[in-house]
Structure 1
């Protein structure tokens, strides 16, 4: 281990961190451009073939950037997209970014360090950084914005030059070190461990914008909210946010095992889609969509007595037509991501004649990220980490997410040598209670291999 990482793990202060030498290279999960043609030729690429863990050169910091020693990270679905070079090979993102010149040129490399979550310790700051210093414990937002772009000052997600760090940029969070812009950082919740903190910001803040923000569906007291994939990272946070806002979450899952986990999360209205005959089929005609949609609508009415005000849909192609069908007259479908595909099939007559709305959403701006992180700091939102892997096992961790054989978030230890580290407010943790802090975590998941699957 290099001297800077050793100093971080020893809890060194700013002066000692400044004296420790930044290594010339570091361990990172990365893709290789040379693998792209083989992956694109494969009918079913396996992320394990293309996610490599090895040493890469340390980049130079731009004036507005921060070098963070990453204690833990997590797997998001964009890492699956990256490692299957689909729907767009991420090396094309890096080439376009690099073509801007200046500091952006560093990102156009024959390797891509991936990962869009991180919790760690600031070890260096660029000359233009004012709000952070070495030794600060931070979590990283996934969004990089161009603050010279006028639209970014209204809403950063409207900026044409906003990018997702570790997906559309290089030097991501699944590594011992990561390079982020200072405007990506937020304080780490003091009562959470490194792996708990690292599994939150991308998915929780995305769910926050979709459901709570004025730019999303704006859940209010008594709203019935249908949540697809309710035991996934986005879905498990959506359940918590709807409950905190006074709404009624209706979770959709694919198995009874996941249904039981969801009830343990506090979602009392659970629909197992396999039990009502809306399994893996993608309905592609209005007639079939209506048939399957009616089955789902009946199940919702039987459970809560009415149609949903809001449908939370990140699944995409496999579910979107059903979402438009079942949301009530005048209701809202809020969508992001589309993990099963971007080509959505739905009946526009149902949308228009019943005055339904579709709200597109993408990540969250810094203020929304801050508000969401505040809820974690107050203990009002709980992490949903279900398994933790070492960085060396990152490909297996990503495979779980690729095959939908996970619940909640799959964490990855980077520099942290074991789980359970990083808590600086044990009193708050004790007041909240261990069972409430991470309701999807099984004590056995401290082993390198995942145990919560299916």
Structure 2
């Protein structure tokens, strides 16, 4: 442990942090370029075989960047994609980014430091950084944008050079230190611990844009919203946002423990996948899709009296054709991912003849992240953390997500030497209540 790391852990003042040099190497979870072909022809692409923890060189800081001492991070599904080198090796992303030259060239390394969530302390700021300083407690948005692109000025997610930090860039958050653009920073909610704060931005921000933002489904009061994977990383925030906004969340889950989680989060209706008759072969059989859709529609109408206005999609191939079928006439399917496969098939008649819409959504722009952070900072949306691992066990943490054993979000302690640290507003924490903040922590992971 370096002097700077020890000082951050001890809560040292900014002037002391400024006087301590960053280390020349730091501990990180990373992949090796030489392993990129290791899973070719392998049925079980076990991320525990590719994820490593060790020392990597400290990169130089660009003028618009800050160095964050990462206290905690979290696992996202892009960690799994990275670690199985699918659908593309992320080293290809790094090479393409580096081809821009200049500061981007640093990202092309024989190692890739992963992680698209993080909470920590600013310990250095580049010469062009105006609004952040050493000692600030921050959380990190996963989106890096090019502020000199015209499209970025309309919406940060529209720029062609928009990238997901720690997935399409190097020096991510599953590490003791992370290199972050100043335009990614958000104030850390004072009532949350490091691990609670770290688990929110990527998934909660994504769900906010999909459901609430101007470019998403624009949910309104009374809307029935079907949420696939309602107890997962994305779904658990979607359920809260629907309930908080006056909608009616209907969640689909895959186990009794996840059903209990969905109810705690606010689902009015919880449906087990087995009730629908959904299995790995359903999406490949048009007749089975329609039959599963009819079963799902009957359950929803029985419980809430009408078809869903919105379907919250991120599962992909296994569920997408059913989503298009089951959403009401004029309704919206909003999608941000495809964890079961990104080649979707669906019966287009149900889309065009019933005037339905499909909206693609990706992460969230900085304004949306700040609006979401307001809800978290006031206690209206709470973290969905269910498990916390030390950085040394990142492979096991990622495996739990790969195998869909997790509930909500899986946190990772980086420089923090234990859970429960980092609270600076204990009064608000007391008002929100430990029971609500620990909503999912007593639920066992699924087999």
Equivalent residues, number = 447
The answer for the alignment partner of 1:142 in structure 2 is 142
Q: TM-score, normalised by structure 2?
A: 0.99
The answer for the alignment partner of 2:393 in structure 1 is 393
How many angstroms does 1:401 deviate by?
Answer: 0.3
Query: What's the secondary structure of 2:436's corresponding residue?
Result: helix
How many angstroms does 1:453 deviate by?
Answer: 2.8
How many angstroms does 1:35 deviate by?
Answer: 0.5
- Greater alpha carbon shift after TM alignment, 250-259 vs 159-168: 250-259
Q: Distance in 1 between matches of 2:97 and 2:304?
A: 48
Query: What's the secondary structure of 2:274's corresponding residue?
Result: coil
Q: Distance in 2 between matches of 1:144 and 1:263?
A: 35
Alignment of 1:3-18 (within 5 A): 3-18=3-18
| Contact 1:388/1:412 (<8 A) preserved | yes
Q: TM-score, normalised by structure 1?
A: 0.97
How many angstroms does 1:436 deviate by?
Answer: 1.1
- Greater alpha carbon shift after TM alignment, 428-437 vs 147-156: 428-437
Query: What's the secondary structure of 1:38's corresponding residue?
Result: coil
Query: What's the secondary structure of 1:170's corresponding residue?
Result: coil
Pair 1:439–1:281, CA change in 2 (3 A): farther
Q: Distance in 1 between matches of 2:96 and 2:39?
A: 21
The answer for the alignment partner of 2:250 in structure 1 is 250
After the TM superposition, which segments of 4 or more aligned residues of structure 1 sit over 3 Å from their partners? 279-282
Alignment of 1:39-78 (within 5 A): 39-78=39-78
Q: Distance in 2 between matches of 1:142 and 1:202?
A: 6
The answer for the alignment partner of 2:90 in structure 1 is 90
How many angstroms does 1:438 deviate by?
Answer: 2.9
How many angstroms does 1:230 deviate by?
Answer: 0.2
Q: Distance in 1 between matches of 2:256 and 2:408?
A: 16
How many angstroms does 1:188 deviate by?
Answer: 0.2
Q: Distance in 2 between matches of 1:149 and 1:264?
A: 43
Alignment of 1:53-452 (within 5 A): 53-442=53-442, 451-452=444-445
Cα shift readout 1:278-332 (whole Å, capped 9, x = no counterpart): 2343422432211111111111111111100000010000000000000000000
Q: Distance in 2 between matches of 1:156 and 1:33?
A: 30
Q: Distance in 1 between matches of 2:53 and 2:266?
A: 37
The answer for the alignment partner of 2:446 in structure 1 is 453
Q: Distance in 1 between matches of 2:156 and 2:263?
A: 36
| Contact 1:40/1:85 (<8 A) preserved | no
Query: What's the secondary structure of 1:214's corresponding residue?
Result: coil
Query: What's the secondary structure of 2:231's corresponding residue?
Result: coil
Gaps of 5+ in 2: none
| Contact 1:255/1:274 (<8 A) preserved | no
| Contact 2:255/2:446 (<8 A) preserved | no
Cα shift readout 1:184-215 (whole Å, capped 9, x = no counterpart): 00000000000000000000000000000010
How many angstroms does 1:263 deviate by?
Answer: 1.1
- Greater alpha carbon shift after TM alignment, 251-260 vs 367-376: 251-260
What's the C-alpha RMSD, in Å, of the aligned pairs?
1.0
The answer for the alignment partner of 1:448 in structure 2 is none
Q: Distance in 1 between matches of 2:387 and 2:424?
A: 22
